[in-house]
């Protein structure tokens, strides 16, 4: 047969394979589009794998218990990613109402300072694709926690929560925030065991499952839905505590939308406050590790069950 027939047959065989290899949730390369400067945002991949560390973070876990007093934490954070360095100050506070059955929760990163090299800028599909140094103002998270079961003789603590995100974050052009709202729902379960006396006070386990949702720029798929999950363990001693957790969420688009992180915090107690240092490592689709140091006020006093209960 003529050579062109062989080529036609080869193209027909490979064409379906090429279609299967394409990911319909990845927009085209922005830097080869004639309208890039005008419509660059439509080519961004709105997932944690292609934005800064504060754009679509994995939510902090609720430990299935609402603080009995006003809780506030503030810390300086340093994120180090491949070609991306970010520093920020974060705040988190919970206001208990209805005798501790309900908690009003707020989280906020007032400002972040960042630097990206050109490779990270191209990877994140920024407006220019060039190295940049700048700052951005963050989104505000606000929500409600409801205590369903607390300090029961046999049942573990159980709580449910909902949190919404504003679109107040800035500097989307440099992939710092998405400039779009989102929300997540979760249910938490946990319990504490020990005697709250002596050097070792108690150990608390906790776990969470929920739903995470945010907007994308895709015409046919304007929303990404994800399973939210996590678990942790907190060892409480007389003068300090050690809290470790694993958490993440799993979107259905598989375009950098399945972040998993490990976090560890050590707190030195000072009455009802603590000086806390922590470390966080992205395990998948969160391309950062971070170090933090700060204070928290309002340590939760927990009822505990004896280890031989």
Burial class (CB in 10 A: 0-12, 13-18, 19+), 287: buried
User: In 166-200, which positions are buried (b, 16+ CB within 10 angstroms) versus exposed (e)?
Assistant: eeebbbbbbbbbbbbebebebbbbbbbebeeeeee
Residues linked to residue 158 through DSSP beta bridges, in sequence order: 149, 189
Output the average pLDDT for the chain. Answer: 90
pLDDT digits (tens, 9 = 90+) for 267-291: 999 988 999 999 999 999 999 999 9
Span 62-84, pLDDT tens digits? 999 998 889 999 999 999 999 99
Q: Which domains does the chain have, with CATH numbers?
A: 3-297 (2.40.160.40)
Rounded CA separation 122/106 (Å): 33
With CA atoms as reference, report the closest residue to 90 among 79, 100, 80, 99: 79
pLDDT tens digits for range 144-174: 999 999 989 899 999 999 999 999 999 999 9
**For residue 101, how many other CB atoms are within 10 A of its CB?**
14
* Whole-number pLDDT of residue 300: 66
Is the pTM higher than 0.85? The answer reads yes
């Amino acid at each position: 047969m003529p050579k062109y027939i062989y080529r036609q047959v080869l193209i027909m065989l490979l064409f379906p394979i090429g279609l299967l290899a394409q990911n319909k949730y990845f927009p085209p390369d922005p830097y080869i589009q004639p309208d890039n400067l005008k419509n660059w945002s439509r080519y961004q991949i709105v997932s944690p794998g292609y934005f800064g560390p504060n754009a679509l973070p994995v939510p902090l876990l609720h430990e299935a218990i609402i603080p009995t007093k006003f809780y506030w934490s503030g810390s300086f954070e340093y994120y180090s990613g491949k070609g991306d360095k970010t520093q920020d100050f974060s705040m988190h506070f919970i206001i208990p109402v209805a005798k501790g059955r309900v908690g009003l929760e707020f989280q906020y990163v007032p400002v972040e300072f960042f630097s990206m090299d050109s490779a990270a800028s191209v990877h994140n599909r920024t407006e220019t694709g060039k190295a940049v140094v700048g700052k951005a103002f963050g989104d505000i998270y606000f929500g409600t926690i409801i205590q369903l079961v607390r300090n029961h003789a046999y049942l573990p603590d159980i709580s449910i929560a909902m949190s919404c995100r504003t679109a107040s974050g800035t500097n989307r052009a440099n992939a710092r925030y998405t400039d779009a709202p989102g929300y997540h729902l979760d249910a938490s379960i946990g319990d504490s065991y020990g005697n709250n006396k002596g050097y070792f006070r108690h150990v608390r386990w906790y776990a969470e499952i929920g739903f995470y949702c945010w907007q994308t720029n895709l015409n046919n798929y304007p929303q990404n839905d994800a399973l939210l999950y996590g678990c942790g363990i907190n060892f409480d001693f007389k003068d300090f505590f050690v809290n470790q957790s694993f958490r993440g969420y799993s979107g259905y688009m598989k375009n950098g939308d399945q972040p998993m992180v490990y976090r560890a915090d050590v707190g030195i107690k000072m009455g009802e406050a603590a000086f806390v240092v922590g470390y966080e490592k992205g395990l998948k689709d969160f391309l950062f590790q971070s170090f933090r140091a700060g204070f928290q006020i309002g340590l939760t006093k927990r009822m505990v069950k004896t280890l031989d209960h």
